[in-house]
Structure 1
Amino acid sequence: ALKYAQRPADKGHPYGHGKAEPVAAIIIGFFLLFAAGWIAYHSIGFINTPHELPKPYTLAVLLVVIITKEILFRYVHAVGKRINSQAVIADAFHHRSDAITSVAALIGISLALFAGRGYEAADDWAALFACLFIIYNAFKIIRPAFEEIMDKAPSDELIAAISSIASFHTEVKNVEKCHVRKMGLDYYVDMHIQVDGTINVFYAHQVAHQVKDKLLGSDLHIKDALIHIEPYLIS
């Protein structure tokens, strides 16, 4: 999905394919919800069905799984934050959910082994508790992905940084409007800038292109910018 989201714009998709990225994150989020439901369903079944105590060696296996999954979570989450990718962050929380489930199983199996008979279902109760954390992580993935699809405005800090780049141009008297939306790993900017109303159209057009070039050349991951020129009126 991330590779597809980075495909360039074409005639049918003039703004690119970036929305595939939050769609993938939403799919992962709903997969986690399904997994939580599946675990809960089977845990309840095992609680109601008598079974033997788990084997002691499963504790060592779970420790390896927990450490591995937590390392993967931290690495993938850091990459997702660095490239600003909801899909990669969602994949990171998939690893975290596996780690949480394994921690719950470790606690439950430990209790069952040390407490003995009568506590065979302790790991199943722990799995039910872990389902709550998995559901919480799923909504942490789904909510920002839906917000991105709905073109929610990014942080005030990012908008201020974009506006300040335009304001540095000597001919820009005021940034009247700055709308920003995220598309995959990049941002698209719609900006209204005010310039001296007495300058000619050709020069105003040059100013707009210079501001656009500054924005696209910044390190703010701006893919494209539409600059609208307005006359600056002194009240």
Structure 2
Amino acid sequence: MSSSQEINLSRFIFLSLFINCLFALGKISVGLIGHSSALIADGIESVADIGSSILVWLGIKISQMPPDPDHHFGHGKADPIAALALSTFLIFLTVWVSFVALRNLGQSSPLPSLYTLPILSLIIVSKEILYRIFKKLGEKTGSLVLLADSWHHRYDAFSSLAAFCGILIAVITGWKQADSLAALATAALIFWNSIHLLRLSFLEIMDTAPSKSIELKIRNLAEEVPGVVKIEKCRIRKSGQGLLMDIHVVVSGSITVREGHTIGHQVKDKLCSSNSLKITDVVVHIEPLD
């Protein structure tokens, strides 16, 4: 990733951080004044968004650091570790939000105010826009923590929509528990999002192989190099925003060592130059055809 792309990426992350700070302050303040437990719960979840934006920024910055004597394969694992920390924090947050909502179900409280609804409408639209921006950035860079943050924005929009519906029902029908039930729905959405992020983070940290379609694409690309008979083995793992792999290339047993070495370099260059695959490094092993 070029330095200009890194700068633009940082701008988007800090924009998300700034918006999350405004939303957290606005939701909690309006929720307290307007007597909406759903909006307060949604605002507390926005506090986690502030932490998530910081984690996203740190995860990306560290994962882009080059290899050093202590980290021969670079720092790509910082990306899923940041996503793991974010999802773990959200799980604990879910427990707290659920506790508050359940406690409020058994208590008498004033009806939430109608003026909280325009605030929620603005939040829903803003979060959906952030979701689309970060999803596009995550797909472009291959960053798990960026994709995780995009899903986080999407679920924020859903949770705010749940709060909107709960407040609207409470105001129209006078059923005060609708607001607290909406807060529970918010907690359920946060929990689902957290479990999903946790699973993806563990998969990458454990070097889980990517999809078979990616492996097939790599094999086909390598077999296009002149002199390659076939690909015997292809072991792939994701690290940060790129792929690392070991590939066994079968060549004719009658060629010289130097010729086989040249073919190996050509395979590596072809794979690493592929824009769609985002391959960081390739170790090529040459196998002679019997």
* TM-score scaled by length of structure 2: 0.77
Contact 1:174 1:232 (C-alpha < 8 Å) held by counterparts: no
Compute the displacement of 1:133 (Å): 1.9
**Matching residue within 6, 30, 33 for 2:88:** 30
Match of 1:229 in 2: 286
Compute the displacement of 1:200 (Å): 1.8
**Matching residue within 198, 201, 205 for 1:145:** 201
Cα distance in 2 between the residues matched to 1:35 and 1:98: 14
Counterpart code for 1:166 = A
Contact 2:226 2:263 (C-alpha < 8 Å) held by counterparts: no
Q: What secondary structure does 2:285 align onto?
A: strand
What is the root-mean-square deviation in Å for CA atoms of aligned residues? 1.3
User: 5 Å matches for 1:153-232?
Assistant: 153-219=209-275, 220-232=277-289
Compute the displacement of 1:31 (Å): 2.2
Rg larger in structure:
1
User: 5 Å matches for 1:13-24?
Assistant: 13-24=71-82
- Please identify runs of 4+ aligned residues in structure 1 that moved more than 6 A: none
Q: What secondary structure does 2:66 align onto?
A: coil
Match of 1:60 in 2: 118
Number of residue pairs matched by the alignment: 231
Higher RCO structure, 1 or 2 (CA under 8 Å, sep 6+): 1
Identity, % of aligned pairs? 40
Q: What secondary structure does 1:172 align onto?
A: coil
Compute the displacement of 1:171 (Å): 1.1
Contact 1:33 1:134 (C-alpha < 8 Å) held by counterparts: yes
Counterpart code for 1:221 = K
Cα distance in 1 between the residues matched to 2:224 and 2:210: 22
Cα distance in 1 between the residues matched to 2:89 and 2:154: 14
- Structure 2 unaligned residues grouped into runs of 5+: 1-58
* TM-score scaled by length of structure 1: 0.94
Cα distance in 2 between the residues matched to 1:35 and 1:72: 22
Match of 2:150 in 1: 92
Cα distance in 2 between the residues matched to 1:169 and 1:195: 11
Counterpart code for 2:224 = F
Q: What secondary structure does 1:179 align onto?
A: strand
